[in-house]
Amino acid sequence: MAGNMNHTIVIGAGQAGLAAAAQLRNRGVECEILEAADSPGNSWRSRWDSLRLFTPAQHCSLPGATFPAAPGAKPGKDQVADYLAAYAADMPMTTGVAVEGVRRGSGGFTLDTSAGTFEARSVVVATGATSVPFVPGIAERLDPAIHQLHSSNYRNAAALPPGGVLVVGAGTSGIEIAVELSRTRQVWLAGRVPFHVPDALLDHAGGLYWQFIHRVLTRSTPMGRKVAGGFTAHGGPLISVSMEDARKAGVRALPRLEEVDGSGRPMFDGQALQGADTVLWATGFKAQYGWIEGLPLDSRGWPVTTRGVVESVPGLYFVGMPFQYGLTSSLLGGVGRDAAHVAGHIAAAEMARDSALGLNH
Ligand SMILES: Cc1cc2nc3c(=O)[nH]c(=O)nc-3n(C[C@H](O)[C@H](O)[C@H](O)COP(=O)(O)OP(=O)(O)OC[C@H]3O[C@@H](n4cnc5c(N)ncnc54)[C@H](O)[C@@H]3O)c2cc1C
């Protein structure tokens, strides 16, 4: 609380915030985690019921704690939430506190929260890249009789009103949800289909593939920098699911949704689509960082950092951003590397400060 200056406050208790806290602890830096939800790992718990990881268990471990599942297993989303809750068990954390603003103050930062103000010398923002759903503006022109929801609010087929569903967005989430819905109703899937990583590649060279996306596709390599642009603009490649799976399940593929007719029906190739009583937006997430004072943003609204370090605001850090350092930065098995880098930076700054004040370590 105000008046009591923390070394470091970590905002968010998903995998990124927990990895950051673990790496800070390893370096002897005190921190406190503030989490808006009632429990750590809540974003996993609130995803749709049937969701399983597309990354195999051996590539899902956070620093110092092997994911408790056999290599090759694709754990369910609640197993991930349980793993994160166990990981967080002895961490200094206050849940049910939403950070509403971060301001620069004398010697650090003031955080305005739902539970009053907190102060810290350093702040690690780990609020996730999937906190704020993106729905395109065309949604407002649809007939109000059409039920609409974003993929982040989808739980299972039974929770939707009866009738056909148009899923907009053909990334991994869109395809998985379309295949699930197609078991009980008519489904259309609209959108540009991303590159699909061949299943054979993952089955026979999964370890090598992981090494490639983790070690080669980073901001330190020309290939990684090239991939980074497409990744942050269009999302990652399809892994484990493909458009072929959707077609086999009876899902009808459509191009991007760009038009609506006079009565608010979605149109494709000049024709209104009949029978879509629900539109499910699997259109990803957007950046929203206006609550952090002085934060430099790129053209898409994401924070400008060097491997998570905000150079122009000393003491401000990020972990878990899309392609923060590499393609795996926002994945369970990749976030630990970024957390270590940021924690190392904070520890060095603390050390320099203590030396300047004549404090011994
Ligand atoms: C459908 C889907 C499937 C995925 N599958 C995989 C997979 O198979 N393998 C894999 O490695 N990755 C997968 N990911 C990607 C990634 O691992 C997850 O998105 C993961 O949840 C990101 O972790 P995070 O800690 O960065 O963010 P989050 O898990 O979103 O955690 C952020 C936390 O911050 C809290 N928070 C947000 N704002 C505030 C605030 N202002 N104040 C306080 N607290 C706040 C939230 O409540 C939340 O608990 C998937 C993502 C999605 C969406």
pLDDT (tens digit per residue) in 202-261: 666 678 888 888 999 999 999 999 888 877 777 777 777 888 999 999 999 999 999 999
Q: For 2, phi and psi rounded to 5 degrees? A: -55, 145
Position 358 scores a pLDDT of: 83
Kindly state if the Cβ of 130 falls inside 6 Å of ligand 1: yes
Q: What percent of the chain has pLDDT over 70?
A: 95
C-alpha of residue 38 to centroid of ligand 1, in Å: 15
115 Cβ contact partners less than 8 Å away, ≥ 6 residues apart:
94, 96, 97
Q: What percent of the chain has pLDDT over 90?
A: 80
Position 361 scores a pLDDT of: 55
Assess whether pLDDT exceeds 60 at residue 338: yes
Position 5 scores a pLDDT of: 62
Kindly state if the Cβ of 173 falls inside 6 Å of ligand 1: yes
Kindly state if the Cβ of 11 falls inside 6 Å of ligand 1: yes
Q: Which residues pair with 65 in a beta bridge?
A: 62
Position 205 scores a pLDDT of: 65
Position 233 scores a pLDDT of: 73
Q: For 49, phi and psi rounded to 5 degrees? A: -55, -40
pLDDT band, residue 4 (cuts 50/70/90): low
Q: Which residues pair with 292 in a beta bridge?
A: 102
Position 204 scores a pLDDT of: 66
Q: Which amino acid is at 52?
A: R
3-state secondary structure at position 175: helix
- Orientation of helix 77-87 relative to helix 15-26, angle to 10°: 30
Write the residue with the smallest CA distance to atom 37 of ligand 1: 127
Kindly state if the Cβ of 63 falls inside 6 Å of ligand 1: no
Say if CB 81 and CB 45 are below 8 A apart. yes
Taking only the tens place, the pLDDT of each residue in 270-324 is 999 999 999 999 999 999 999 999 999 999 899 999 999 999 999 999 999 999 9
Residue pointed to by tokens 């086999």: 248
CA nearest neighbour of 210 among 348, 69, 45, 72: 72
Kindly state if the Cβ of 14 falls inside 6 Å of ligand 1: yes
Taking only the tens place, the pLDDT of each residue in 90-127 is 999 999 999 999 999 878 999 999 999 999 999 999 99
| Ramachandran assignment for 193, one of left (phi > 0), alpha (psi -120 to 50 degrees), beta (any other) | beta
Sign, CA dihedral 47-48-52-53, equals negative
User: What is the rounded distance in angstroms from the CA atom of residue 104 to the CA atom of residue 316?
Assistant: 10
261 Cβ contact partners less than 8 Å away, ≥ 6 residues apart:
267, 272
pLDDT band, residue 3 (cuts 50/70/90): very low
Assess whether pLDDT exceeds 50 at residue 2: no
Assess whether pLDDT exceeds 90 at residue 330: yes
Mean pLDDT, rounded, for 149-155: 98
Strands 266-268 and 252-254: unpaired
Say if CB 7 and CB 350 are below 8 A apart. yes
Q: Which atom of ligand 1 is nearest to the CA of 59?
A: 11
Structure-model confidence comparison of residues 23 and 193, the more confident one: 23
Kindly state if the Cβ of 240 falls inside 6 Å of ligand 1: no
Structure-model confidence comparison of residues 45 and 106, the more confident one: 45
List C-alpha distances in Å: 45 to 144, 174, 332: 30, 19, 15
Please count the other Cβ atoms lying within 10 Å of the Cβ belonging to residue 147.
16
User: What is the rounded distance in angstroms from the CA atom of residue 303 to the CA atom of residue 11?
Assistant: 15
Assess whether pLDDT exceeds 60 at residue 26: yes
61 Cβ contact partners less than 8 Å away, ≥ 6 residues apart:
67, 332, 333, 336
Taking only the tens place, the pLDDT of each residue in 61-82 is 999 999 999 998 999 999 999 9
